Amino acid sequence: VWLSPVLKPDEFTDYGKWMDGWETRRKRIPGHDWCIIQLGVPGIVHGFEVNTSFFAGNSAPRISIQAALDLPEFWPRGDRIGTAASDEELKAVKKMKSDEWTLLVPMKELKPRYLDTSHNYFSASCKRKWTHIRLNIYPDGGIARFKVYGAVQKDWSASGPNDLDDLVAMENGGICVGFSSAQLGHPRNILGLGRATSMEDGWETARRPDRPPVLKADEKGILLMPGNEWAVFRLAHPCVITHIEIDTNHFKGNFPDTCKLEACVLNTEEEKEYITQKWNLKQNPKWNPLLSFTKLKPNKRHFFDGTALQMQDVITHVRLVIVPDGGVSRMRLWGFPRTLLYTSK
């Protein structure tokens, strides 16, 4: 989960006031400050957020953003507070010609540095695949958080048909394209790395207002409820799913009673149409059962192998349904990438 910047008014270091972010020294030589960031995974960049929270009086007044693709590896600087780049590091960066990288955001002024106006958003001028970002600040100052928004684009040419992978993982290119409710944490969180660090690092819905005053269950112990919540995900690659994991880690008194998974094949145009329709099921007959309704337990990883799955067809999208509401921390869909030999109609 992304941690918001914090203020520690009484904490100081050998170099001055402790700040939760990146702050450069007051510049006394020609030029401006910058940093180079390697993205966690290659992806198509759509936009940026520059957050200057708590940097009142010492934030960067202006920024610009550049990008590059497939650079040779170079050593990271690590956490070295109070030091500038060495001559050797500057020579390595000069060879990269980072000042000539594609300009995604020209020089822009940042808004006043107060908590209610500290979030600055910028659209990328060239929405294509990148691996590295250069953030320029003019001429110096501080930034609390820098976010790069986009979609992961993995190179699947190196993956064979028998390479098992998590086809909904965010790091592979899985993405949430619709949901019914989100009270604490966005559904995209359940595609994140590792196990969730907290409930906020998962997806939790609001309590459904249509729940009956007295709950009843069927002969299998499944609660009889009138409604449900759902989230739709586009898989990283067309695939056949063979194993499923649903994790309710941290959700102890607010886990769903049951869940199910449905799947389908959608092309780009159909996906756009259904997003516009907000995934209205009355106009979307494509969903087929992948995992039938299954009881869930609190704070637990639930695993399902091929014997529990109801289809072995190639799919592109899945829909996670939880009844009646509650929270899920992670979802893993393990399977094999496949070539889609036809488009749905």
How far, in whole angstroms, is CA 278 from its chain's centroid?
20
How crowded is residue 342: how many other Cβ atoms within 10 Å of its Cβ?
A: 8
- At 15, the pLDDT band (50, 70, 90 cuts) reads confident
**Mean pLDDT computed over 211-218:** 92
pLDDT score for 345 = 46
pLDDT for 329 beyond 60: yes
pLDDT score for 114 = 63
pLDDT for 80 beyond 80: no
**Mean pLDDT computed over 179-190:** 95
CATH code for the structural domain at 12-152: 2.60.120.260
Distance CA 98, CA 132 (A): 10
pLDDT score for 115 = 61
Q: What is the mean pLDDT of the chain?
A: 91
- At 3, the pLDDT band (50, 70, 90 cuts) reads confident
What is the distance in angstroms between the CA of the first residue and the CA of the last residue of the chain? 38
Distance CA 147, CA 134 (A): 13
pLDDT score for 281 = 64
255 CB-near residues (< 8 Å, 6+ apart)? 248, 296, 297, 298, 299, 326, 327, 328
**Mean pLDDT computed over 34-42:** 92
pLDDT for 49 beyond 90: yes
How crowded is residue 33: how many other Cβ atoms within 10 Å of its Cβ?
A: 18
Is there a common fold for 12-152 and 159-209+223-337?
Answer: yes
Question: Which pLDDT tens digit goes with each residue over 191-213?
Answer: 999 999 999 999 999 999 999 99
Task: Please answer whether residues 277 and 284 qualify as being in contact, where contact means their C-beta atoms are separated by less than 8 angstroms.
Answer: yes
Task: Please answer whether residues 202 and 176 qualify as being in contact, where contact means their C-beta atoms are separated by less than 8 angstroms.
Answer: no
Distance CA 121, CA 134 (A): 16
* Domains of the chain by residue range: 12-152, 159-209+223-337
**Mean pLDDT computed over 132-157:** 93
State what percent of residues in the chain have pLDDT above 70: 94
- At 112, the pLDDT band (50, 70, 90 cuts) reads low
More confident residue, 297 or 111: 297
pLDDT score for 16 = 86
Q: Give the homologous superfamily in CATH for domain 159-209+223-337.
A: Galactose-binding domain-like (2.60.120.260)
Whether this prediction's pTM lies above 0.85 is answered by no
